[in-house]
Structures are given as C-alpha cells and as structure tokens.
A = this chain, B = another copy of it.
Amino acid sequence: MPSTPDTALSDDAARPSRREQILRAAAQLFAERGARAVGVDDVGAAVGVTGPAIYRHFASKDAMLAEMLLRISERLLAGSAEVVAAAGDDAAGQLRALIAFQVEFALDNPALITVQDRDLGVLSEPDARRVRQLQRRYVEEWVGVLARLHPGASTAACRARAHALFGLINSTPHSAGRLARPAMARLLTGMAEAAATAPVS
C-alpha cells in the first residue's frame, strides 16, 4: 500500500483540513475523559458535525486513536534522533538535548502525553505492537546516552532510569498551568538533569 499519497502530504501542512481538526479535537477529548468514554458523537460535536460524519474521514474510532498514537511515537522518535545527532559526541550534551526536547514536548502537548500512556491498551493488538515498537526505540535512544554516562550501570538499570525520567517530565498533565511555562521548564529540566546524573548508591 504505497499509494494514498493524500494522507501524508496535502493534509498535514496546509490548512487544518477537517480530518486534522477531528484528530485534534479527539486528542483533547480523549485526554480529558479517556478514549473509551468519549463517543463518536462527542468528537463530531466538537468540530461542529454529527457523529457518523466521522466515518467520511476515518475507517473507525479505533483507527483515529491508532493514527494519533502512531504520529506521537514517530514524532518523538524522529525528534530525539535529530536532537542527539545535533548534539555531537558529548554524552552529557546529548542528555541535556534529550531532556530539553522531552520537556518542551511535554509542556506543549500534555493531552497527547495523557492519551499515549492511558489508552495504548484499547488499540488492536497489531496497532499496539507498532506503537510499542516505536516507543521502545525511543527509550533505547535514552538508554544509549545514559549508558555512556553511567559506565558501571547495567542496561536494565539504565532503562529503569529512563522510564523514571519520563515519569518525572511527563508529570505536566498533573501540575496543569499553575506555574508559568518558563519556570516550569527550568524546574523540570533541573530536576531531570539531577536525577539523570545521580549516582546509584
């Protein structure tokens, strides 16, 4: 299926073509109430259309969620690879770059963060597998950097550390907007760098 060139090119960049509006609105709703709890009618209403109209743009409700999660994972993976490459050979610099990248993403898209780790389970097994694979590769990006920073640590320890750092940074949906964004960014960055470099006793 290398055809259907419409999904990738004409829609993404230009105006927020209905299809894009729907995805955005759905992300918001899914984050607030959980994917299973929002009806097709709710998503439709959010963009000023009735429920069944959705099916002119997506094969099913699950397909919407799948596309949403796949996009996030791909974006994170691509972004991290780029950012690490741009940081040169210094492991400490790469770590700072990864942290800055993840902090920015988490502050920009708290809704997507929420959906991604709450609703992965509602995907069909094949879709879930693809998302998990992308996530795994993203994690490995971090693990590689952490391993160079902690030469004595096992891979398992580095992986656990990476997950802990994600948990730390991805706490943005829980501490919504109380703190101004620059202050929040500085706080999370500082905490993450401290936690990432803390020696294991």
Contacts and interface: CB of A to CB of B under 8 A. Distances in A.
Copies in the complex: 2
Nearest to A178: B156
A187 interface: yes
Given A170-B167, A174-B166, A183-B157, A121 B194 contact: no
B193 A198 contact: yes
A190 B179 contact: no
Contact of A122 (B34, B175, B189): B34
A192 interface: yes
Interface residues of A, number: 47
Interface string A151-193: 0001011011101111111110011001100011011111111
B36 A36 contact: yes
Given A37-B121, A156-B179, A175-B159, A164 B186 contact: no
A174 B178 contact: no
24 contacts: A34-B121, A36-B37, A117-B174, A157-B179, A157-B183, A160-B175, A163-B174, A164-B168, A164-B175, A164-B191, A166-B171, A167-B169, A168-B168, A168-B195, A183-B200, A189-B201, A190-B198, A190-B199, A190-B200, A191-B198, A192-B195, A194-B195, A194-B198, A195-B198
